[in-house]
Structure 1
Amino acid sequence: MELFIDILILLAIIVGSVIVHRFLPAVPLPLLQVVLGCLAALSPFGIHVPLNPELFLVLFVAPLLYHDGRKTPRDELWKLKAPILLLALGLVFATVFIAGYGIHGLIPSIPLPAAFALAAILSPTDAVAVGAISRRVHLPKSILRLLEGEALINDASGMVAFKFAIAAMLTGVFSLSAASLSFVWMAIGGTVCGAALSFLIIRLRVLIRRLGVEEATLQTLLQIVTPFFIYLTAEELHVSGILAVVAGGIVHAIEQERAESSMLKLQIVSASTWSVILLMLNGLVFIMLGLHIPVVTAVTVESGAFDISRVLLYVAVLSSGLFALRFLWIYAGWTGAWLLGSRNKITKPQLKPALLTALSGVRGAITLAAAFSIPYTLQDGSPFPQRDLIIFMAAGVIVFTMVTASFVLPVLMKTEDDAAEAEQEEIGQAGGIRILQATIRLIREELSVCSEAAALSVISEERERKALRESEIRLIGIQAEREEAGSLFQNERISRETAYKFEELLNQLELLLTPGTPFPSAPSVRDMGSFISGLFVIEGRSIARFIRHAESVRCAKIDMYKAAIAAMKERIRNDNREISLSVIAEYSRRVQLLSPDASGQAGQEAFSLYQPKHWLEAVRALREEIRDLVDSGKLTRELAGRLLRCLDQVTRSVGEHNDPSFRRQGEGRL
């Protein structure tokens, strides 16, 4: 019961940290959670959760790395395979060798094998910590992918080095050949094991679906238990469980794109469930770190062997040395690749990107778990030399690297971010006009589709056969749009809310076109205005963010229309050729209307097809939706005012808005 209460308190701390972070955005959430964990450990309640290293790895690290494997872009990682391996393998072993001798020279009371063990657990960067930092610091895309790939692989190399350093400390024997063979077996075996198990689990899920069990909750539950099963099985086979769950996540992503692209509901439920799990696991990792820092600090101080200020100096020197070694390794490797490789493909080495990559090498959960897995005694029963000091220094390096990355990286990135923001503001007005024009054109297009579909129910008997064939063609296009929307959501190109909106519209269109289904009334202009405004209106304070979101929706619709065109072309037959080409031409016109150059002649011709009153009704619907969002507290008045002013500017910029009555009725205030 006491453990259950402690877990509830930890979850409450996670909730509190997220709330506090909203008011103190300058303080990184992981660092805030570490501080709250320390305060919880020092509180009168004395919260203390025992840390079992093996349980920690399977409960926290396995699902987090599995999710990272699912979400990491494989094509981009493959392009960066050489620098990733240079960091994940070369830098790890260089750190063990150089830092090991450095630690032994700095603190002679730590034997050389134990120093190698400490260097080994400090060598791998942490994917969880890197992801937490990257969400706040907008690193260049290439650097971010490099860090993600490095963190997914270097855990295995670091743990192998740690294992053999501990074995050498316990037995006094070390074999380089045995260590090399063990590393190859653990790396290759773990990768193959994880990929094979993930493939089998996916086949099982497909079989369950074919038996008629298609509940999204059951499929999501199978996804959640997959990383635990893969990790435990790999560890039983004495291969790398860490690499196994990463490989399993990658295989899952590949199979999911092929087998589940049309199951949009499953993807949405899965994404929502994983988001909650990741919030809890990430928070618990950093809170657990905070809980144990006072413990190891107290043990180190009570031992009396070292003064606390001296130990903190050791931590600062060791952390700075790791940053310096990482920077030199990255810059030297970059320079060597540029000198020996093709200079047309590799840019000239630069200090700032190398420094950003070096400072982003944050340590985290793997380091903490490995430190606590150090045995208490040697084979002869004597205490492990300086075990508490090693754990304290590992925790100190974690905090030092996290604080440095959290506060120094934003300063280095500030200039680039300011330039990017200025550029966004510069294009804001023109971009807002163009995107809102595309929004209104999108309303028109969807209205025309719905009206046309509804009209099919009252066509004359002699044209019914032709209408049914046209419905079949349109249903093919709608299914292709649905699959493309699922793919866009899976690749994080559209948000969960946008995916829901697309699914809602496609379901309505499919209902209108399905033979034998009673036709509901066509959606009103207000309904369509509410739908489109739901796509484009988002919370926030920056009009640039609104523009970026709207641009992503426009690009998504273009991709969906192109997917529908491709699907319909594949189904063209002699008996439906004329109808298919007609529908394809309609989709092509939609693509043209939503394209960036649609404001030209083609756009003007499309505008002339509609009466001004429809424009007025659409703008009214958008305005009413904005006011409703303000009244419900989902939209700030500041952003709403900007949206309304931008909408006013759009209405003045369109040629058919010259009617004074339209301008008077269209403008308004909150």
Structure 2
Amino acid sequence: MGSVELVLAMLLAVIASGYVVRMLPFPLPLPLVQIALGAVIEGVFGHGVTLEPDIFFLLFLPPLLFLDGWRIPKVGLFRDKGTIIELAFGLVVFTVLGAGFFIHWLVPGMPLPVAFALAAIVAPTDPVAVSSIASRVPIPPRLMHILEGEALLNDASGLVCFRFAVTAAVTGHFSLASAATTFVWVVLAGLACGVAVTLGISAAQRYLSRKVGEESGSPILINLLTPFGAYLAAEHLNASGILGAVAAGVTMSYVELSGRAGASTRVRRAAVWDAVQFSFNGVMFVLLGEQLPDIISRAADAAEAAGGEKGVLRLLLLALAVSLGLTVLRFVWVWVSLRLTLLRTGRQDQQTKVTRFKLVLVTSLAGVRGAITMAGILTLPLFMPGGAPLPGRHLAIFLAAGVILVSLVLASIALPPLLRSLTLPEEPAGAAQEDLARHEAAVAALKAVEQASHEQLHVDPEIQASAIERVMGIYRHRLGSGDTLDPARLRMADEAERNFRLAALAAEREAILGLARHERISDETARKLLREIDLVEARYR
């Protein structure tokens, strides 16, 4: 199977996974289905792809991290920055030390630096897998924002720890002062590169567009290339390309507040990014599945050579033990962290204690590992400087794969019932902000219509009066006819209007399609009208 056919097969597997997960009689996380399909491609058909970690990091991570940084709510990100930093940096170091010694104790034959390297690469979490698991039972918004923020930042800290552990494993030397200095540079320079690249590209695009104009697809293509520029610039400076891509996405969200992008550009760009996110996320897990047969085969061969069937069983028990050890370490850290930050309240009743325990347990189980862990562990060197094989490499790779699978299965089984029984106080700030924004926008729209009516004197007065009344009536309704309706009733009225408008748009679409099917209008006319209806419908959906 050639490279092109293999890429097409992986994309087809991503598409098929979406249908398979809906046909199953029981809930199953989408990443698990995609991993299984990847294993089928490699194991059954004998066609797979060798995962090149450097290419993987460059191709897949920048756009996905850029998009996560762009779309994550900034209010929640900065509101809970203390908790996020504790999880993204403090928990990673705690996991590396705790899990490293634990793995070395379980497997005395694995050198301590290799055990630390394994612990470092399994420390970062994967928000994509968590979102998929919680799709049927949504995670509370504030908790999800914390998990997303943690996952955006802990990749960098985990990979930095992994780099130093590998260096110690190969050379036998480790300097804490050098590690701390390098870590500060990697973080700060990576963030600075992301901000600088995004601002520079945006400024250059605005200048060229104003001077010579641009093609309609150029803004979208520039937007797609921006994360790669930020990633490569940071890596060129020996900083964190991951943090560069994240910082670029966060900066892009503020650049967007300038409102320079047109409505059609935003609609098309959102559709393009949604397709990129769905396909790249899926391909990442399909690639992970394609690595599993070879990893399991090599580990099983080594285990059988060492201890026969008992060796294979011991291998499986080791993977389970390491996974449970990581969950316990995360539970301990989250318990202490949340008691000191989010859960420091004056209430000490039994219900509060139960909620606290469930919240800590959910946060601990939501630490699912993903494809970044697999790509990172595959960068372990094959040989020592003297030419001898790196001790414990195949076992470390197998244990990393086992941690990914166990964390996915454990979260998919335990999270849904825990989330159903978890009750947290509502956050009315979102609804209040939406009410404020709708009110202020409606007031501004009414003023703009009134001003425009004085400027368009060439229009027939009767037609103009009718048009003005129709437009202003929409915004007067939004304002509640002089503030006679409370916000809750206004939202109910908006929902009812939305349903009626969607029904009307569906009828319009069917009528136009019927005219086109009977050749009473041309295909070109039908496409034009259908696009107008689609854009209006996108607003209501």
The interval holding the TM-score normalised by the smaller chain is 0.7 to 0.9
User: Where does residue 40 of structure 2 map in the other structure?
Assistant: 39
The answer to whether 1:336 aligns with 2:217 is: no
User: Where does residue 161 of structure 1 map in the other structure?
Assistant: 161
User: Where does residue 183 of structure 2 map in the other structure?
Assistant: 183
Amino acid at match of 2:411: A
1:270-324 Cα distance to aligned partner (Å, 9 max, x none): 0111111111101110001111011100011112236222111111111111111
CA 1:260–1:23: 2 relative to 1, 3 Å: farther
1:572-608 Cα distance to aligned partner (Å, 9 max, x none): 99xx9xx9xx9998676333337995499x99xxxxx
CA 1:217–1:290: 2 relative to 1, 3 Å: same
The answer to whether 1:29 aligns with 2:35 is: no
CA 1:596–1:168: 2 relative to 1, 3 Å: farther
User: Where does residue 301 of structure 1 map in the other structure?
Assistant: 300
Gaps of 5+ in 2: 458-463, 491-498, 514-541
Give the Cα–Cα distance (whole angstroms) in 2 for the partners of residues 395 and 213 of structure 1: 50
Gaps of 5+ in 1: 421-492, 494-547, 604-617, 633-670
| 1:561/1:590 contact within 8 Å kept | no
Give the Cα–Cα distance (whole angstroms) in 2 for the partners of residues 558 and 41 of structure 1: 56
Identical counterparts, % of pairs: 36
Name the SS for the 2:367 alignment partner. coil
Amino acid at match of 1:561: A
Give the Cα–Cα distance (whole angstroms) in 1 for the partners of residues 502 and 105 of structure 2: 73
CA 1:594–1:313: 2 relative to 1, 3 Å: farther
1:92-127 Cα distance to aligned partner (Å, 9 max, x none): 001100110000000111110100000000111123
Name the SS for the 1:108 alignment partner. coil
| 2:156/2:240 contact within 8 Å kept | yes
| 2:89/2:157 contact within 8 Å kept | yes
Deviation at 1:21, TM superposition (A): 2.2
Give the Cα–Cα distance (whole angstroms) in 2 for the partners of residues 620 and 122 of structure 1: 49
CA 1:206–1:620: 2 relative to 1, 3 Å: closer
Amino acid at match of 1:298: S
Equivalent positions of 1:522-541 (< 5 A) are none
CA 1:255–1:106: 2 relative to 1, 3 Å: same
The answer to whether 1:564 aligns with 2:445 is: yes
Deviation at 1:555, TM superposition (A): 9.5
Equivalent positions of 1:359-438 (< 5 A) are 359-415=365-421
1:301-360 Cα distance to aligned partner (Å, 9 max, x none): 112236222111111111111111111111112223479x7759xx87710111111111
Deviation at 1:566, TM superposition (A): 6.6
The answer to whether 1:593 aligns with 2:474 is: no
Name the SS for the 2:217 alignment partner. helix
Name the SS for the 2:479 alignment partner. helix
Give the Cα–Cα distance (whole angstroms) in 1 for the partners of residues 293 and 205 of structure 2: 45
RMSD over equivalenced CA pairs, Å: 3.7
CA 1:621–1:229: 2 relative to 1, 3 Å: closer
User: TM-score with structure 2 length normalisation?
Assistant: 0.80
Deviation at 1:30, TM superposition (A): 1.0
Name the SS for the 1:382 alignment partner. coil
Give the Cα–Cα distance (whole angstroms) in 2 for the partners of residues 32 and 292 of structure 1: 15
Equivalent positions of 1:100-115 (< 5 A) are 100-115=100-115
Deviation at 1:132, TM superposition (A): 3.2
Amino acid at match of 1:312: L
User: Where does residue 196 of structure 1 map in the other structure?
Assistant: 196
User: Where does residue 535 of structure 1 map in the other structure?
Assistant: none
Structure 1 stretch displaced more, 242-251 or 18-27:
18-27
Deviation at 1:182, TM superposition (A): 0.5
| 2:193/2:244 contact within 8 Å kept | yes
CA 1:117–1:564: 2 relative to 1, 3 Å: same
CA 1:215–1:169: 2 relative to 1, 3 Å: same
Amino acid at match of 2:378: F
CA 1:174–1:142: 2 relative to 1, 3 Å: same
User: Where does residue 7 of structure 2 map in the other structure?
Assistant: 7
CA 1:569–1:103: 2 relative to 1, 3 Å: farther
Report the count of equivalent residues: 477
More contact order relative to length (CA 8 Å, sep ≥ 6): 2
| 1:96/1:119 contact within 8 Å kept | yes
Give the Cα–Cα distance (whole angstroms) in 1 for the partners of residues 133 and 216 of structure 2: 32
